[in-house]
Amino acid sequence: MNKITRADILLLLLVVTLLPFVYRYYWQDTLAGEKALIYVRDKPVKEISLHKNRQISIDGALGKSTLQIENGKIRFIDSPCTTKMCIQKGWHNHSGDFNACLPNGISFEIISTAKNDKPQFDSINF
């Protein structure tokens, strides 16, 4: 009763053959971001280029958060929150990447100006 049939073998071969194509279509690399859109309390306050190395301080609900931009990447390097989860997430450089310091009310999203760029998420909820 538990024999493998020809149909089972054909189905397995079909799945193994199609897997690389499905992987390439659905899990392809996202575009590198060109700008970061910074939000304070869900309102966009600044759009900055990721092509100029610098540090930016943003005032939030608890105090100043510092963002570092280097070589087309961005990250939190200092924030007055207690858990420091925003800092621990590290560098971000792909279009659609998002990071937030929720206690301080500061977040950023990386965007691209490419025409074929599509958002990575439909929505993000906290």
Domain count, the chain: 1
What pTM was estimated for this model as a whole? 0.68
3-state secondary structure the chain: CCCCCHHHHHHHHHHHHHHHHHHHHHCCCCCECCEEEEEECCEEEEEEECCCCEEEEEECCCCEEEEEEECCEEEEEECCCCCCHHHHCCCECECCCEEEECCCCEEEEEECCCCCCCCCCCCCCC
Over its length of 126 residues, how does the chain's per-residue pLDDT go in tens digits? 678 899 999 999 999 999 988 887 776 666 778 899 999 998 999 999 999 999 999 999 999 999 999 999 999 999 999 999 999 999 998 888 899 999 999 999 998 876 555 555 555 555
Position 23 scores a pLDDT of: 80
Position 3 scores a pLDDT of: 87
Position 2 scores a pLDDT of: 78
Q: Kindly state whether residue 67 falls inside one of the protein's structural domains.
A: yes
Supply the range of the domain harboring residue 75: 35-111
CB 12 within 8 A of CB 75: no
Q: Kindly state whether residue 122 falls inside one of the protein's structural domains.
A: no
Q: Kindly state whether residue 91 falls inside one of the protein's structural domains.
A: yes
Q: Kindly state whether residue 56 falls inside one of the protein's structural domains.
A: yes
Phi, psi of 96 (to 5 degrees): 95, -15
Q: Kindly state whether residue 123 falls inside one of the protein's structural domains.
A: no
User: What CATH number does the domain containing 56 carry?
Assistant: 2.60.320.10
